[in-house]
């Protein structure tokens, strides 16, 4: 058997652990609930138990290259501590890497979850043919990651890629970070819900109002379903998402001139509802995109567009291919690269 | 004598050529008017005559390492042609590098002027102690450049660093590039003049109105002088400049987490009038800045702050040190690095 690594995606809801071999093949994946309420020590125990089980099971005849862990929030790369994480309340004083290393006696690489997702898409997903790329992850919040020359761009303290808190409306909606008009306030699942509630409150969005009152689990996904069915109010909400992402991507294209920008995370499954507005904003706002757009640049171009990017150096904006596994694969990849 | 290179700053108004040695010492600088009206062939003749004179004069006993040329506008790095340059009208079909190489029989490196300025400040200026930095150049327009790991970050086609055309007001002032709300519309010398004219037209800016009618060369500099004298209307204009730059820098800090952002170009001489608003926006808008700001972050910190950046990994925003020579030194540096 070929060598393998263990990747962990530590989310606020789910804790996922996977053994992945150096060819990118999934060996085994374990999904647990993250028992946040029991405190960080118990969550780390759960994680380490699962890692131990997987590594013992597969270490016969092949080497465990290491453990990579994707964590939501801002990580201080020097201390490997979580600096700020809305999804892991109370973890900001936990020396996460040290605690895991103490339990497992193995070297551990800690990484921001969006950086892990970027690395996963670069290794096995939409960006596998390019060395430079950025990812925007749309979930409860909006995260991001940058890969340059095949490596995660951490910046000075490991805080690079916080695209969700860049400003697109200077006097816009107040964000939890203290800023106004953050991308996250217009392009996350929470933003979709905020806009849906505002539309319902206006009294002019009957289908949304009906869905909200009849569905006890009314969510961004339900708003998307209405948009797919053609409801104008739901469609407008995803047009707002696309506009916000379009301004963000236009700014990234003008600033970084990368060959590829990937949109991932749960909300990216609504790609067909918001992506036309991304391209509309890009065409209007972005001189570098105007100079580098592929011949057809009105939607998701899939694999053929990626080939174009290799040949003709166009700017490609596309959706992620690995879905919610991108961060898991990317986390597993971290110790492989470190060991090469 | 030590080896040297020749740097050229080809501007729409001035054509400057300098011999600079590998230690960064200026040997000789020549300033000519750019005879734009006579066409690109004549301008290139003027440039090459001056380069030839300088190289013959100093080549006795030391090596000419090469020629670097900073050019305004977007350069296609593959073809070394100017793709778009408002300051060099009619040059977009000129194979600039090939034409110069044909005249001089020497290898020439063509570079965007803001990238050259970034490289100059990295080599000898404000960013000489860091390996990663970005520059924002405030002139007639707003340009930018990024240095990562000590090298200019070109992006895929050499178009990276177009910060002047990133959006800070999505429904804002229309820009020549086709976008609305570009940084350039709020933070360039042209933007200062636009805002001054709007203030005068409102009928409520008496000092600006007097200056404009009495001074035949009324300019951004004159607006700055009124701001320094305490005129509230002129001060408000530079507060707008600072706000726009603050939003831009906040977005760059959140996206790239670099140790240093340098503000250069002619308008940066008004640093004291606009920089307080940069820091105000950063404090309000930028979570990565909040986590990495130096202990005192309310203004220009000069050399001591640069030492801090080495030690404690703070985010430093500061003005350029080399003034209008940054691009000239940076251009001269290009062939030195290529020869190392």
Q: What superfamily does domain B4-119+326-338 belong to in CATH?
A: ATPase, nucleotide binding domain (3.30.420.40)
Distance CA B114, CA B91 (A): 18
**Which residue spans of chain A are classified as CATH 3.30.420.40?**
4-119+326-339, 129-321
Closest residue by Cα to residue B156 from A256, A203, A138: A256
Per CB-CB distance under 8 Å, the chain B contacts of A83 are: 291
Residue B85 pLDDT: 79
Per CB-CB distance under 8 Å, the chain A contacts of B255 are: 144, 146, 160-163, 166, 252, 255
- Pick from B78, B157, B284: CB nearest A257: B157
Look at A291 and B251 and tell me if their CB atoms are within 8 Å.
no
Chain A: residue whose CA lies nearest to B179: A285
List the Cα angle B220/B226/B229 in 5-degree steps: 145
CA distance A224 to chain B (A): 25
Chain A: residue whose CA lies nearest to B76: A291
Q: What is the pLDDT of residues A6-46, one digit of tens each?
A: 999 998 889 999 999 999 999 999 999 999 889 899 999 99
Interface test with B, best of A166, A182, A284 (most B CBs within 10 A): A166
Residues of chain B with pLDDT under 50: 298-311, 339-340
Residue A312 pLDDT: 57
Per CB-CB distance under 8 Å, the chain B contacts of A170 are: 168-169, 243, 247
Look at B159 and A286 and tell me if their CB atoms are within 8 Å.
no
CA distance B84 to chain A (A): 10
Alpha helices in chain B (DSSP H): 40-58, 96-104, 113-124, 184-187, 189-201, 206-214, 220-228, 232-256, 271-285, 287-292, 302-312, 326-338
Residue B89 pLDDT: 82
Per CB-CB distance under 8 Å, the chain A contacts of B133 are: none
Chain B: residue whose CA lies nearest to A174: B285
Distance CA A179, CA A182 (A): 7
**pLDDT tier, A289 (very low <50, low <70, confident <90, very high otherwise):** very high
Distance CA B313, CA B327 (A): 27
Residue A310 pLDDT: 40
Look at B251 and A166 and tell me if their CB atoms are within 8 Å.
yes
**Which residue spans of chain B are classified as CATH 3.30.420.40?**
4-119+326-338, 130-321
| B169 phi/psi in degrees, rounded to 5 | -140, 95
**pLDDT tier, A159 (very low <50, low <70, confident <90, very high otherwise):** very high
Mean pLDDT value across chain B? 91
Look at A156 and B180 and tell me if their CB atoms are within 8 Å.
no
Distance CA A140, CA A158 (A): 21
**Strands A4-10 and A64-71, sheet pairing:** parallel
| Residues B242 and B115 sit within 8 Å (Cβ to Cβ) | no
Per CB-CB distance under 8 Å, the chain A contacts of B247 are: 167, 170
A129-321 CATH: 3.30.420.40
Residue A306 pLDDT: 45
Q: What is the pLDDT of residues B176-205, one digit of tens each?
A: 999 999 999 999 999 999 999 999 999 999
pTM greater than the 0.90 cutoff? yes
Per CB-CB distance under 8 Å, the chain B contacts of A288 are: 74, 155, 157, 159, 162, 165
The pLDDT of residue A331 is above 70: yes
Six token digits for residue B246: 């603050």
Q: What is the pLDDT of residues A47-103, one digit of tens each?
A: 999 999 999 999 888 899 999 999 988 887 777 788 777 778 888 878 889 999 999
Interface test with B, best of A82, A136, A242, A251 (most B CBs within 10 A): A251
Per CB-CB distance under 8 Å, the chain B contacts of A278 are: none
Residue B308 pLDDT: 41
Chain A: residue whose CA lies nearest to B143: A255
Q: What is the pLDDT of residues B222-263, one digit of tens each?
A: 999 999 999 999 999 999 999 999 999 999 999 999 999 999
Q: Angle, nearest 10°, between helix axes B220-228 and B232-256?
A: 110
Q: Angle, nearest 10°, between helix axes A206-214 and A220-228?
A: 140
| Residues A140 and A190 sit within 8 Å (Cβ to Cβ) | yes
Q: Angle, nearest 10°, between helix axes A220-228 and A232-256?
A: 110
- For the domain with range B130-321, which CATH number is right: 3.30.1370.100, 3.30.470.20, 3.30.420.40, 1.10.3720.10? 3.30.420.40
Chain B: residue whose CA lies nearest to A249: B166
Residue A303 pLDDT: 41
Q: What superfamily does domain A4-119+326-339 belong to in CATH?
A: ATPase, nucleotide binding domain (3.30.420.40)
A-B contacts (CB, under 8 Å): 155
Q: If you compute the radius of gyration of chain A from its CA atoms, what whole number of angstroms results?
A: 20
Residue B13's SS3 state is: coil
- Secondary structure letter of residue A93 according to DSSP: T
CA distance A152 to chain B (A): 11
CB neighbourhood size of B185 (10 A): 27
| Residues A167 and B168 sit within 8 Å (Cβ to Cβ) | yes
Alpha helices in chain A (DSSP H): 40-58, 96-104, 113-124, 184-187, 189-201, 206-214, 220-228, 232-256, 271-285, 287-292, 302-312, 326-339
CA distance B16 to chain A (A): 27
Residue B79 pLDDT: 78
Please give the order of strands across the beta sheet that includes B133-138.
B151-152, B142-148, B133-138, B260-264, B316-319
Mean pLDDT value across chain A? 91
Per CB-CB distance under 8 Å, the chain B contacts of A158 are: 257
Distance CA B254, CA B322 (A): 27
CB neighbourhood size of A263 (10 A): 24
Per CB-CB distance under 8 Å, the chain B contacts of A160 are: 255-257
**pLDDT tier, A340 (very low <50, low <70, confident <90, very high otherwise):** very low
CB neighbourhood size of A312 (10 A): 10
Look at B257 and A155 and tell me if their CB atoms are within 8 Å.
yes
What is the total residue count of chain A?
340
- Pick from A159, A251, A256: CB nearest B167: A251
Its ipTM equals 0.93
Residue A60 pLDDT: 84
Distance CA B211, CA B191 (A): 17
- Secondary structure letter of residue B182 according to DSSP: B
Residue B116's SS3 state is: helix
Look at A180 and B285 and tell me if their CB atoms are within 8 Å.
yes
């Amino acid at each position: 058997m070929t060598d393998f690594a263990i990747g962990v995606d530590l989310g606020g809801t789910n804790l996922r652990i996977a053994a992945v071999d150096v060819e990118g093949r999934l060996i085994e994946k374990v999904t647990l609930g993250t028992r946040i309420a029991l405190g960080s020590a118990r969550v780390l125990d759960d994680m380490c138990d699962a890692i131990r089980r997987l590594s013992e099971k597969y270490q016969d005849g092949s080497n465990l290259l290491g453990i990579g862990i994707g964590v939501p929030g801002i990580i201080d790369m020097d201390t490997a501590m979580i600096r700020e994480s809305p999804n892991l309340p109370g973890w900001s004083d936990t020396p996460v890497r040290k605690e895991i290393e103490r339990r497992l006696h193995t070297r551990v690489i800690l990484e921001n979850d969006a950086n892990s997702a970027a690395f996963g898409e670069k290794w096995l997903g939409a960006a596998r043919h390019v060395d430079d790329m950025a990812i925007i992850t749309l979930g409860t919040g909006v995260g991001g990651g940058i890969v340059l020359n095949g490596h995660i761009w951490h910046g000075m303290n490991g805080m690079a890629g916080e695209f969700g808190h860049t400003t697109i409306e200077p006097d816009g909606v107040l964000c939890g970070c203290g800023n106004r008009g953050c991308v996250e306030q217009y392009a996350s699942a929470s933003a979709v819900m905020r806009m849906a509630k505002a539309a319902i409150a206006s009294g002019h969005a009957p289908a949304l109002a009906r869905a909200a009152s009849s569905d006890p689990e009314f969510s961004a996904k339900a708003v998307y379903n209405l948009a797919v069915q053609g409801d104008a109010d739901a469609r407008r909400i995803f047009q707002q998402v696309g506009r916000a992402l379009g301004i963000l991507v236009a700014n990234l294209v003008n600033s970084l001139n990368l060959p590829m920008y990937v949109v991932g995370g749960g909300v990216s499954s609504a790609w067909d509802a918001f992506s036309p507005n991304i391209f509309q904003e890009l065409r209007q706002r972005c001189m570098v995109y105007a100079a580098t757009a592929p011949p057809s640049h009105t939607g998701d171009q899939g694999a053929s567009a990626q080939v174009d990017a290799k040949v003709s150096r166009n700017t490609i904006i596309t959706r992620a291919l690995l879905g919610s596994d991108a961060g898991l694969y990317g986390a597993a990849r971290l110790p492989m690269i470190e060991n090469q």
